Amino acid sequence: MREDILHAMDKNARISVTDLATILDASEEEIRDQITEMEKEKIIYGYHTMINWDKTNDEHVLALIEVRVTPQRDQGFDAIAQRIYRFSEVSSVFLMSGAFDLMVIVEGKTMKEVALFVARRLAVLESVLSTSTNFVLKKYKENGMILEDDKKDERIIVSA
């Protein structure tokens, strides 16, 4: 049942305990206890709101930064990943397979702000060998949610 709760909450973090109980044919108390237990175990870390910043007046830039690093003796990639994720500008850090080691997701108000963070704080770290910054220009779908408005069919109707 835990996985069913997690899948439902992953799609909608605001789903009510009542609705979960109905969907999963369980009591509200049972669902509430399961959620509380998963929060204690850090299976559920928090609840996140998805925001389409393009629909606001707030400037918001998202960058995906590929980082090649030298792993630390006896700590592998963990030590450098910890140093990186402590920066307030960093929203996510992932260990990757492939041509680079870490994917660092950085948020800022402008491209210049993000570029300065990379140049002055990230790229200068001792274990960092190289970085490659990719700015997100437009989001179409994020976390399973389509972000575009439904487009109106603008074709002209032709009848004979």
Q: What's the pLDDT at 21? A: 95
CA distance 17 to 32: 7
Residue ranges, the chain, pLDDT below 50: none
The answer to whether 131 touches 80, Cβ cutoff 8 Å, is no
What is the separation of C-alpha 10 from the centre of its chain, rounded to a whole number of angstroms?
A: 13
The span from the CA of 136 to the CA of 147, in Å, is 14
The pLDDT value recorded for residue 160 is 65
Q: In this predicted model, what pLDDT tens digit does every residue of 6-27 receive, in sequence order?
A: 999 988 889 999 999 999 999 9
- Give dist(CA 107, CA 91) in Å, integer: 7
Provide the pLDDT for residue 127. Answer: 94
> What local confidence, expressed as pLDDT, does residue 152 receive?
65
pLDDT value, residue 151: 65
- Name the amino acid, one letter, at 13: A
CA nearest neighbour of 31 among 55, 8, 51, 61? 8
Q: Write out the DSSP string of 86-137.
A: TSTTEEEEEE-SSS-SEEEEEEESSHHHHHHHIIIIITTSTTEEEEEEEE--
Question: For residue 25, what is the DSSP state?
Answer: T
